[in-house]
Amino acid sequence: MKQKVIDKMPAKLDFIQSATGLVLALFMWGHMFFVSTILLGKDVMYQVTIFFEGYYFFGESYPIIVSILAGAVFFIFIAHAAVAIRKFPSNYKQYTIMKNHIHTFNHGDTKLWFWQIFTGFAMFFLGSVHLYIIMTNAADIGPYASADRIVSDWMWPLYILLLLAVELHGSIGLYRLCVKWGWFEGKDAKASRIKLRRAKYAVTIFFLTLGFLTLAAYIKIGIEHKDHAGERYQMVQSVSQGVKI
Amino acid sequence: MSEEKAPRILKINVLRFDPNDENDVPHMQTYEVEEAYGMTLFVVLNEIREHQDNSLMFDFVCRAGICGSCSMLVNGRPTLACRTLTSKLDENISLAPLPLFKLIKDLSIYSGEWMRGLNEKLETWIHDKEQEINVDKLEERMEPALADEIYELDRCVECGCCVAACGTIQMKPDFVGAVGLNKVARYHLDPRDKREDEEYYELIGDENGVFGCMSLLGCQDVCPKDLPLQSKIAYLRRMMLTTGLKS
């Protein structure tokens, strides 16, 4: 029998969109937990920083590890943007038709599409700026270095917008992935969708709260450290034979 | 003794337009109808046509949610007029024809043409691949549970509500919509249909098919027959992905 030749690309593109979206969303959860360690103190955040620089494995810090990691995330980010752009309206007419549909239909999940597109578009720029800076200045991460970047280098306005965009986009995206592929569907798809939607709101509120508290903590440190911007953090407390010195 | 409440006066705002009348432009016309117990929009529209305006055009056949003819936008939401109780709505009710389908006049649309095109495109019939038809041959037995599952999807009345509620189809008019994907899922379940997964992939394995769906689930939320569209589209997406990624 003659073998059927099918175009596999649509399946691959759909898979890439979902897979990169999942990786990025889960990465952002981890990222938020790591940066929020500043709320537990400068020392904790500093230890997390040098952990990612390989200090606890090699005995020395190698910021290049963070650069490579940021580069990999940047690559996934661009791949996701490249395939997800297929879901954008391609001209003004399509945009107005969809806006009109959202307005007249008044349907929750359809409204989320607008926010997904809006935040996704914003992140083309916001995310790229952030990722490029981290990739090329990986050594400038730490309780003081990060706080200085936020306050003295004027990154706080960008981070406020990026935080809003990431948390909305990520949680809507994860919800969409679940209903799109039938994850956690169980026997009653309707009931599980209601639970998923509640979980989505809870996740958004949780990460936005954590994110803004974290940003506030860095801003506070950045303002206090403004006169010494550029100086690096040193762990002041070290423990020697059980005695704090 | 409690005083009986005076019936509400419903204000029915209908989007009217006759595409065959050169001088006509789309406009809203308001009718006032006294609400009665258990009144549906189907009753309201007949009331208007019988007593107020016999030029108002709308479709209906069964008045029981079986034929799918009276689908329209009620306050912007696609639904069947015959299954919509006025008591569930505000006094001000707006009615408009379903978008995307060919407009005949006022609330009357020609959904049949669109549906026929869809069915032809997706070949929504049994493909048994037998060269000769043998009418004496007994049909293979089917498990009742499977027959029920197929029947569940066969309940689609092609009303077009899922099409009108679909965000994807607004931007990509060639998208097959939930009605098309549901039909493919129905034939894929049927053991009498001998089509390979690759053949199904050829029908819906692209941006106009299952991979175009943005999972906004307007279809699921408006389907008057409450079909499991969300689950079936997810099932087709998983199946088509496996087929597409297979070497």
Write out chain B's pLDDT in tens, 247 residues: 456 789 999 999 999 999 999 999 999 999 999 999 999 999 999 999 999 999 999 999 998 999 999 999 999 999 999 999 999 999 999 999 999 999 999 999 999 999 999 999 999 999 987 777 788 888 889 999 999 999 999 999 999 999 999 999 999 999 999 999 999 999 999 999 999 999 999 999 999 999 999 999 999 999 999 999 999 999 999 999 999 998 5
Does residue A237 have a pLDDT over 80? Answer: no
The model's pTM: 0.93
Chain B residues with CB under 8 Å of A176 CB are 214-215
A87-91's contacts with Cβ under 8 Å and 24+ in sequence apart are A87/A116, A87/A117, A87/B214, A88/A117, A88/A120, A88/A121, A89/A117, A89/B171, A90/B171
Q: Answer whether B245 sits within 8 Å of A181, measured CB to CB.
A: no
* B127/A contact by beta carbon, under 8 A: no
User: Residue A3's pLDDT is what?
Assistant: 62
Q: For A173-223, what is each residue's pLDDT tens digit? A: 999 999 999 999 999 999 999 999 999 999 999 999 999 999 999 999 999
User: Residue A234's pLDDT is what?
Assistant: 84
Query: What H or E segment, with its residue span, contains residue A66?
Result: helix A63-84
User: Residue A2's pLDDT is what?
Assistant: 53
Q: Answer whether A14 sits within 8 Å of B231, measured CB to CB.
A: no
Give me the mean pLDDT over the A24-45 stretch: 97
First and final C-alpha spacing in chain A? 81
* Beta-carbon count within 10 A of B195 CB: 18
Q: For A133-182, what is each residue's pLDDT tens digit? A: 999 999 999 999 999 999 999 999 999 999 999 999 999 999 999 999 99
Are B56 and B27 in contact by the 8 Å Cβ rule? The answer is no
B209/B180 Cα distance (integer angstroms): 8
Chain A residues with CB under 8 Å of B244 CB are 6, 8, 10-12
Chain B residues with CB under 8 Å of A14 CB are 211, 237, 241
Locate B158 and state its tokens.
Answer: 């092609």
Q: Answer whether B76 sits within 8 Å of A14, measured CB to CB.
A: no
Give me the mean pLDDT over the A9-31 stretch: 97
Question: Taking CB atoms and an 8 Å cut-off, how many pairs form between chains A and B?
Answer: 101
User: A14-228, what's its fold?
Assistant: 3 helical TM bundles of succinate and fumarate reductases (1.20.1300)
User: Residue B221's pLDDT is what?
Assistant: 97
User: Any bridge partners for residue A199, and if so which?
Assistant: none
* B94/A contact by beta carbon, under 8 A: no
B86/B42 Cα distance (integer angstroms): 10
* B13/A contact by beta carbon, under 8 A: no
Q: Where are the domains of chain A?
A: 14-228
Question: Half-sphere exposure of A237 toward its Cβ, with a 13 Å CA cutoff?
Answer: 9
Q: For A72-90, what is each residue's pLDDT tens digit? A: 999 999 999 999 999 999 9
Write down the mean pLDDT value for chain A.
93
